[in-house]
Amino acid sequence: MNNNYIEFKKRRELGDILTDTFGFLRHNGKSLFGMLIKTSGIPFVILLLASGYYTHASADVLDPVNLSSGGLLGTGNMFIALFVMLITLLVFYGLLFGTVLHFIKSYIEGKGVVDQDAVSQGVKKDFGSMIGLGLLSGIIIFFGFMLCVIPGVYLYVPMSMVFSLLVFRNISVSDSINESFQLVKDEWWITFATLFVLGIIIWLISMVFSIPAVVYSLTKTFTAATESTMSDPSSMFDWVFIILNTISSAAQYILYIITAVATAFIYFNLNERKHSTGAFEQIESLGKSE
C-alpha cells in the first residue's frame, strides 16, 4: 500500500475535496501525466495545431483584402478549422477524462498502486462511450443554456458526474446520464458550490498563462494606435500572438486534469452520502482482518 494513499470513498466537505484534489495530483501527478502522454498526447498536439490554425483563419477573415472580395475563402477556412478543433477537443476531452478516472479506479483497487496496463485497457474499452457521453452531455448543457442560463447551470451540475458514473459503476451511457440526476438529488447546491469554487481556481491559474498573450496584444494595439496603422485589424494576429495564444490554450487544456480529479472526489463524496459504500467496505475489511 502506498504511504501517501488518499481514500476516495468517504464523505468530504468542499474544502476537503479541493485539498485532496491537489494532494492527489502532488503525489501522483508524474505517473498520471505519463499515462496521459501515452493515451492523449497525439490528440493534444492536433488540438493545439487546430487551435493555432483557427486563430490564424480568424485573422484572415478580418483582412481588408479578403473582406473586399467577400471574405468567403477566409470564412470557410475559419469554420473548417473550428470544426476540426471541436472534434479534436471532444476526442481529447474523452481520452483525458477516461485516463484520469481509470487511473483513479486502479489507484483505489491497488490501494495507491496503479496498474498502467489496466488503465490503458480501460481507456480503450470505454473510448467510444466516453466520446458519446461527452457529446450527449454537451448537447444537453447547450440546449439548457439556449433555453435560459439557469437551466443550463442546473444541468451542468449532474452532467459533470456522468464520466465518473460510467467508469466507476461500469454502466451504459444512458444509465450514466439518468443516474447523474439521482446522484445530485438533494445535494445540488453543495455540488454546484464545489464546482464553482474549483472553476474560479482553475480560471485564476489559466489567467497566469494568458498574461504573455494579453501583454503582447495590448502592446501591439498601443503601438498601432500611436503609429495610426490600425486600418488592418488582422495584423494584430501575427505569428507571435498565435504562438502565445496557443500556449495559453495548451495550459487551459492541461488544467482539465484538475477538473477530472476533482469530479472523481465529488462523485465519491455524493455516492458515500447516498449509499455509504466506502463505510460498508471498511466494516467488511475489519471483519475479515479479525
Would you kindly state where each structural domain of the chain is located, as residue ranges? 14-289
pLDDT at 271 over 80: yes
Quick one: what percent of the chain has pLDDT higher than 70?
A: 84
All 3 cell numbers of residue 123?
481507456
In contact, 133 and 101? CB cutoff 8 Å? no
The C-alpha angle 150, 156, 160, rounded to 5 degrees, equals 165
pLDDT at 216 over 90: no
In contact, 137 and 159? CB cutoff 8 Å? yes
pLDDT at 285 over 80: no
Distance CA 36, CA 146 (A): 33
All 3 cell numbers of residue 127?
473510448
Q: What is the structure's pLDDT at 190?
A: 92
Q: What is the structure's pLDDT at 79?
A: 81
Mean pLDDT of the 194-200 span: 95
Which backbone phi and psi does 164 adopt, to 5 degrees? -65, -40
Burial zone of 216 (CB within 10 Å; 0-12 exposed, 13-18 middle, 19+ buried): middle
Mean pLDDT for all residues in the chain: 85
Helix (H), strand (E) at residue 153: helix 149-159
Tell me which amino acid residue 81 is. A
Task: Give the range among 229-233, 263-267, 271-275 with minimum mean pLDDT.
Answer: 229-233
Q: List, for residues 141-177, the tens digit of each pLDDT value.
A: 999 998 878 889 999 999 999 999 999 999 999 999 9
Q: List, for residues 20-79, the tens digit of each pLDDT value.
A: 999 999 999 999 999 999 999 999 999 999 888 888 777 665 555 454 555 445 577 778
Q: What is the structure's pLDDT at 289?
A: 47
If DSSP codes are grouped into helix, strand and coil, which group holds residue 230? coil
Which backbone phi and psi does 53 adopt, to 5 degrees? -70, -35
More confident residue, 275 or 43: 43
Which of 182, 177, 179, 169 has the alpha carbon at shortest distance from 126? 169
Q: What is the structure's pLDDT at 286?
A: 46
Q: What is the structure's pLDDT at 41?
A: 93
More confident residue, 169 or 238: 169
